[in-house]
Chains A and B, each alone.
Chain A
Amino acid sequence: MTVFILRRLLQSAGVLLATSVIVFLGVYAIGNPADILIAADATQLERQSAIVALGLDRPLIEQYWIFLSNALRGDFGRSFVFNQPAISLILARLPATLELALVALIIALVVGIPLGLVSGLKPNTLVDETIMTGSILGFSLPNFWQGMMLIMIFSVWLGWLPAGGRGDTAQVLGITTSLLSWDGLTHLILPATNLALFNLALVIRLTRTGVREIMPLDFIKFARAKGLTERRIVLVHVLKNIMIPVVTVVGMEFGSIIAFAVVTETIFSWPGIGKLLIDSIMLLDRPVVVSYLLVVVFMFVIINLLVDIAYSLLDPRIRLRDTQ
């Protein structure tokens, strides 16, 4: 197990390195930051000194090498735009995004699993068909449109929830959170729901399929023959089997939730890293873009590792092997 984790972490270092090269080249290909950052009416001299200050006069290889050796010391460069360390810009906004993504994930599981169970246990009934139709909408309607509809209905028409922003926040252990105040929570509900909808639909389908697959199996009939209650059969025998695919798929999806947060954060003006990323791409703020992607890739790697561990805990037939 320990060897397994160490090996995975080593592999992820390789992934991070490769990502940094690709992103560095990618941003270089999009355009020259100097054209955007330096005022059009600047003199030739001002322009030249700005380029030197940003290090843009050196060959690309050398720029990358400087970036890499600094990065290894924990310095990911300074934002061209804000003139602050890129990594601290990102870390300052990361909690807002993580909070949003986490709440979205919880909504998807807490609402999706019961709906999927009901659907799977009463297939082809009115309840099932209603839930399944809802989940198709969750899959197929574009996320931004769903977000705007949520704002339309709950903010504009009903006036129940605020349309954007983060509301009151509180500091816990140095992390800013919206979860602790009523105002913060009301601001969180709509964007989190918006972000959750796709995964909610996914969880419903996974759970329903799982129920339909597990219920006819012999071990369920044997559990009945033991005289267990239907409640225990569903909540222990069926659910424990279903949790395996659900945790795997949803765990993998957590990365995409963070990535998709870009859209939701833009619609609901949620001050997370997604919004920072869009702004930075517009301004070709390379250090921020590169650092952002490295942070996201790093999170993907960690999440996948956690999913693998959770998977092996849920399914006794899988044990993480140290070899191979």
Chain B
Amino acid sequence: MSTIVIDNLQTHFETPAGVIRAVDGVSFSVERGEILGLVGESGSGKSITGFSIIGLVDPPGRVAGGRILFQGEDLVGRSESEMRALRGKKIAMIFQDPMMTLNPVLSIETQMVEAVRAHDNVPKLEARRRAVEALGLVGIPSPDERLSAYPHQFSGGMRQRVAIAIALLHRPDLIIADEPTTALDVTIQSQILFEIQKVSRDFGMSLIWISHDLGVVAGLAHNIAVMYAGRIVEAGPVDTVLDHPVHPYTVGLLRSIPANLRRGEALEAIPGMAPSPLRRPSGCPFRLRCFAATATCETEPVDARIGEHSWRCFHPQNEARP
């Protein structure tokens, strides 16, 4: 059984200016022990997809449709207390900015012990022991001493490790990581990626890794899903999608990565800007920026697929391969 299956998820924000469809018909699934990279430019709905799963979409946002099957059971419409029992226990989340995810006035010990005791009624000492163990797991030296420190006494990389350690406390079945290494420098980033990959393999955890860095996703994930304007426009095994991108948006994304170029070759940015979520064009939302767009694109494209590789476009690029 898949750890999680998202089926036609709709998450909308009802604002005075109109309904914002931040997530507009997203479907994907993640198997046990598998890492899915969720990529796309800013505002494409990656974070909101993650928050929808864990049930933390801020009002006026709400899941307006679709199903979120976690271990076979639908989470949509669950009560707040049922969701709270899952959060941190079965599904954990890590955020982008490690400077902001820990409460500045509470010690690391307080913040870890409370996380243990939110789900397991264990004595403080036992909770503390688990906290020390989790800190050791993510490579924090002398965790026993560091436990009594406050967030400001840690560097950004160390804080992100603490956040990851908190996420690991209950060995959840799914971790949603929302750009957790974006704010860190490259060496720290690769250390953390290494640790994450290791624990995910060791514990058979599924991981949804949100990022706009295709390089990171290429090295880490098994599968990739490319989001644009609240939808998934292309998905499949990482190697297939990155080596043979089919959707013009994915092609554009890959061409705009400096590492993919030879010296002297000009970078190609995708022209134009992401459409305002209130005024998305009819049909394919990418058509106004697309080099391959034709009149056909004014109608809604449907999913096409070869094997595990799927895309939503009338004009597949390259030669699509399974």
- Chain A interface residues (CB < 8 Å from chain B): 216-219, 221-229, 232, 236-237, 240-241, 244, 314-317
13 contacts between A and B (CB under 8 A): A218-B97, A218-B100, A219-B100, A222-B101, A222-B166, A225-B92, A225-B93, A227-B85, A227-B118, A228-B115, A232-B118, A240-B105, A314-B105
- Chain A residue nearest to B115 (CB atoms) is A226
Q: How many residues on B have C-beta within 8 angstroms of the other chain's C-beta atoms?
A: 29
B190 vs chain A, min Cβ distance (A): 24
Question: Residue B105 contacts which of A216, A221, A244 (CB distance < 8 angstroms)?
Answer: A244
Complex Cα distance, B93 from A225, in Å, reads 6
Point out the residues of chain A lying under 8 angstroms from B56, CB to CB.
221, 224-225
B86 adjacent to A227 (CB under 8 Å) = yes
Point out the residues of chain A lying under 8 angstroms from B88, CB to CB.
225-228
Point out the residues of chain B lying under 8 angstroms from A218, CB to CB.
95, 97, 100-101
Complex Cα distance, B51 from A221, in Å, reads 10
A207 vs chain B, min Cβ distance (A): 16
Question: Residue B87 contacts which of A217, A227, A240, A316 (CB distance < 8 angstroms)?
Answer: A227
- Chain A residue nearest to B110 (CB atoms) is A236
Point out the residues of chain B lying under 8 angstroms from A226, CB to CB.
87-88, 92, 114-115, 118, 166
Complex Cα distance, B106 from A221, in Å, reads 15
Complex Cα distance, B56 from A232, in Å, reads 17
B107 within 8 Å of A (CB atoms): yes
Complex Cα distance, B106 from A236, in Å, reads 9
B13 within 8 Å of A (CB atoms): no
Complex Cα distance, B110 from A316, in Å, reads 13
Complex Cα distance, B84 from A232, in Å, reads 13
B95 adjacent to A221 (CB under 8 Å) = yes
Given contacts A227-B84, A228-B118, contact A222 B95 (CB under 8 A): yes
A316 adjacent to B100 (CB under 8 Å) = no
B89 within 8 Å of A (CB atoms): yes
A219 adjacent to B114 (CB under 8 Å) = no
Question: Residue A317 contacts which of B104, B118, B119, B163 (CB distance < 8 angstroms)?
Answer: B104
B150 within 8 Å of A (CB atoms): yes
B103 within 8 Å of A (CB atoms): yes
A121 vs chain B, min Cβ distance (A): 13
Complex Cα distance, B85 from A270, in Å, reads 56
A241 adjacent to B105 (CB under 8 Å) = yes
5 cross-chain pairs, A with B, having the tightest CB-CB distances, nearest first: A227-B88, A218-B100, A227-B87, A316-B150, A226-B88
Find the residue from A218, A219, A226, A241 having the highest chain B CB count within 10 A.
Answer: A226
Complex Cα distance, B171 from A138, in Å, reads 52
Given contacts A222-B163, A316-B107, A317-B150, contact A227 B89 (CB under 8 A): yes
Q: Which of B160-174 contact A (CB under 8 A)?
A: 163, 166
Point out the residues of chain A lying under 8 angstroms from B22, CB to CB.
none
Extra A-B contacts (20), CB below 8 Å, given A222-B101, A237-B106, A241-B103: A217-B100, A218-B95, A218-B100, A221-B56, A222-B93, A222-B166, A225-B92, A226-B88, A227-B87, A228-B88, A228-B114, A232-B114, A232-B118, A236-B106, A240-B103, A244-B105, A315-B104, A315-B105, A316-B152, A317-B104
